[in-house]
Amino acid sequence: MRDKLIQYVQLLFAGAPDSEDMKQEILQNTLDRYDDLIAEGRSPETAYRMAIKGIGDVNDILSGTSQGRPCPETPIKTKDDGDTPTKKALRVIAIALYILCPIPLILLSEMGMEVVGLCCLLVIVAVATALIMMGAKKESEENTYSDSRPVGPREELQKSINTVIWVVGVAAYLLISFRTHAWYITWLIFPLIGAVQGLIRAILDLKEEKNHEA
Amino acid sequence: MSIAGDLIRGHTDAIILARLLRGDSYGYEINKVISTLSSGRFELKEATLYTAFKRLEETGCITSYWGSSGAGARRRYYAITQTGKQTCQKLLEEWQETKEIMDKLLEVEE
């Protein structure tokens, strides 16, 4: 029963990082209690149950949310507050658009207009990505006032642009290749995508430099 | 008992400091004394005790060290510091005042 108790405590802390000291201490206290209860003449089963009951809720100490120590939770909260309602709304709409974007393609394909359908899909994806970008931009504007995180929004913006470039690029590659069957040459689109990406990064860098000068 | 339990739990720090004033000790021993002194009517959970130790250590009221290994795992001992003694004194005075006020407030006039 004592081994079972050790196993129980070890399981309690399994998967919790940096909890070795905590585990040692609580395990020792729990074993002390168990030994004491046995010495008092309790049955191993009763002692086991009482010792476990004496541990209480370790989730409190593992998450550090016990009273008097609310610190670990605060940064997470501020991060949540960083997402303004507008940004959240934009993101929700964008995700909805991402999910619904294949509908025109499916419908128009039924009518034999694959190309139009694909164009619709791309336009919807572009709109959705633009919405996310708008959210990122809004955040960057807010951040220039507070000056708390000057790098993040730019990276986010660039990420959004990269997504658009790749989606459009791959779609263009597939579209052109299937239309022209010129597979031997269409791969050139990919180096082209890379070049466009570099160009945009350069433009963003330039723009940021100007902002700093201003 | 549950209301009284909550009231006592609110003074966990003071109880621990007062016990450590009498010498270094470890989790179970302190809990055992608490249980004995309250005639088995009150006891702290390991998790609560551990949290209180950590809190007191962070505020510099107590220090800790690993003792010889007990039967199964290592035992962590706690010792009160100068700051801890001052805090204990302050908490004790606060409690005396609280007790005085509560006695007055709950006094039933004959």
Q: pLDDT tens digits for A143-177?
A: 555 444 445 677 778 888 888 888 888 888 888 88
Q: What share of chain A is helix, strand, coil (3-state, %, to 5)?
A: 85, 0, 15
Provide the 3-class DSSP secondary structure of residue B80.
strand
Query: CA A108, CA A192: separation in Å to the nearest integer?
Result: 30
Sole residue written with tokens 């507008």: A86
Residue finishing a domain among A63, A91, A111? A63
Provide the 3-class DSSP secondary structure of residue A36.
helix
Decide if A69 and B31 are in contact by the 8 Å CB cutoff.
Answer: no
Query: CA B95, CA A56: separation in Å to the nearest integer?
Result: 26
Q: Is A71 a domain residue?
A: no
Decide if B28 and A32 are in contact by the 8 Å CB cutoff.
Answer: yes
| Residues from chain B contacting residue A19 (CB–CB below 8 Å) | none
Bigger pLDDT: A148 vs A61 = A61
Residue of B nearest to A5 (CA): B72
The per-residue pLDDT of chain A, averaged, comes to 78
Q: Which domains does chain B have, with CATH numbers?
A: 2-106 (1.10.10.10)
Dump pLDDT digits (tens) for B50-91. Answer: 999 999 999 999 999 988 765 566 788 999 999 999 999 999
Percent of chain A with pLDDT over 90: 6
Backbone region of residue A56 per phi and psi (left: phi > 0; alpha: psi in -120 to 50; beta: other values): left
Dump pLDDT digits (tens) for B3-62. Answer: 678 888 889 999 999 999 999 999 899 999 999 998 888 888 898 899 999 999 999 999
Q: Could you tell me if A94 and A192 lie in one domain?
A: yes
Sole residue written with tokens 């209690």: A33
Q: Could you tell me if A138 and A89 lie in one domain?
A: yes
> How many distinct structural domains can be found in chain A?
2
Query: CA A7, CA A1: separation in Å to the nearest integer?
Result: 10
Q: Could you tell me if A143 and A48 lie in one domain?
A: no
Decide if A30 and B49 are in contact by the 8 Å CB cutoff.
Answer: no
CB-CB: which of A27, A67, A69 is closest to B72?
A27
CB-CB: which of A31, A36, A61 is closest to B73?
A31
Query: CA A186, CA A41: separation in Å to the nearest integer?
Result: 84
- Residue of A24, A29, A40 to mutate, testing the B interface (most B Cβ within 10 Å of its Cβ): A29
pLDDT of residue A149: 45
Decide if A56 and B47 are in contact by the 8 Å CB cutoff.
Answer: yes
Decide if A54 and B46 are in contact by the 8 Å CB cutoff.
Answer: yes
Q: Is A72 a domain residue?
A: no
Dump pLDDT digits (tens) for A69-124. Answer: 333 333 444 444 456 777 788 888 888 888 888 888 888 888 877 788 888 888 88
Q: Is A68 a domain residue?
A: no
Which DSSP state fits A83?
S
What residues are paired with B66 via a beta bridge? Answer: B76
Q: Is A188 a domain residue?
A: yes
Provide the 3-class DSSP secondary structure of residue A46.
helix
Distance from the B107 Cα atom to the nearest Cα atom in chain A, whole angstroms:
32
Q: Give the global pTM.
A: 0.51
Provide the 3-class DSSP secondary structure of residue B64.
strand
Put simply, whether A7 touches B (Cβ < 8 Å) is no
The complex scores an ipTM of 0.83
Which DSSP state fits B38?
T
Distance from the A15 Cα atom to the nearest Cα atom in chain B, whole angstroms:
18
* Cα-based distances in Å from A85 to A73, A148, B8: 21, 19, 44
Between CA A115 and CA A124, with CA A118 as vertex, the angle to 5 degrees is 145
A12 lies in which domain range?
2-63
Decide if B70 and A61 are in contact by the 8 Å CB cutoff.
Answer: no
Q: Could you tell me if A112 and A205 lie in one domain?
A: yes
Provide the 3-class DSSP secondary structure of residue A73.
helix
With a CB-CB cutoff of 8 Å, which residues 75-134 of chain A face chain B?
A: none
Residue of B nearest to A34 (CA): B28
